[in-house]
Structure 1
Amino acid sequence: MTNYHELDEFKDVFLEDSFVIGIKESEVEISFGVELVLCENHPMHRPPKIGEQYCYQDADIIFGNVRHIEWLEKSNSGFTDANGSVDYGNIDIFQFSSKEYYLEGDWGRIRISSDPPIIRYLAVDF
């Protein structure tokens, strides 16, 4: 399997330190709401806010035209950080082969057959 960095849309993001803040699933798509770490080469990158290690940007990672979703493990346990917000950990592993994607983190393990994922960036917070 190939690492997510090989997907053009994901080459300038760092998922291992991004935070999953929600997962929405329907018959046609699954999306991961994330506080996404933008690498320095990303066109939206800006210096980290005071008290933050990285440049974070709210985004959704969307797998559209889903043909099959297989939850190998699922956890709804969240973590509460110092400012009171809840997240479900990181995306520790994101690999793919052909049109199948495998993701893993504290929130669970999942196999998805779909179109290539896209990142939808939400309002920029400067």
Structure 2
Amino acid sequence: MRDNYLRFPGFENVSLEDSYVLDIAVHPGVLTLKIDLLLLPGHPEYRDPLLGERACFRQATVVFSSVRDLHWAGQSVIKSAIDASGSVDFGSVDSLTRLDDSFKIEGDWGEINLRSDTPSLSIDPAPTT
């Protein structure tokens, strides 16, 4: 079976391809990606962009738990980018796919193949103004 991330619970109405990876952390049994996540209309947390914003972005975390096997290729070519505001990111998630009993994640930061539970997505609370 091959599934795109949009079929994973909680990943509806988001665009990883248009989001920015802020950090990747690997710990025993867990892979975590911190993301500046693009929310699409239809997502329950979506709001119209404010003046000066090009889209609705929210800080979010993708967690792969119960990691049984993980291979990360391409780490040596990782280069961070700095945007006009001075924020650092590592590019986008080009793809996140389930391949039978494993997952494949690709981006400017390399390719990660892992066996784990289905990833979860949690969106940080909206900043108060």
TM-score by length of 1: 0.93
Cα deviation for residue 94 of structure 1 reads 1.0
Structure 1 runs, 4 residues or longer, greater than 6 Å off: none
User: Counterpart of 1:27?
Assistant: 28
Deviation of the 1:122 alpha carbon: 1.5
Q: Which residue of 2 aligns with 1:45?
A: 46
CA distance in 1, matches of 2:120, 2:101: 13
**What is the aligned partner in structure 2 of residue 10 from structure 1?**
11
Count of residue pairs the alignment pairs up: 126
Q: 1:98 to 1:37 in 2, by over 3 A?
A: same
TM, length-normalised to structure 2: 0.91
Q: 1:52-89 CA deviation, whole Å, 9 max, x = no partner?
A: 22110101100001001111222431000000010000
Unaligned runs of 5+ in 1: none
Percent of matched pairs sharing the same residue:
33
| Root mean square deviation, CA, Å | 1.3
1:6: how far off? 1.3
**Aligned partners of 1:57 and 1:125 also within 8 Å:** no
Segments of structure 2 that go 5 or more residues without pairing to the other structure are none
Alignment of 1:1-126 (within 5 A): 1-74=2-75, 75-125=77-127
Letter in 2 for 1:81: D
Maintained 8 Å contact 2:61/2:123: yes
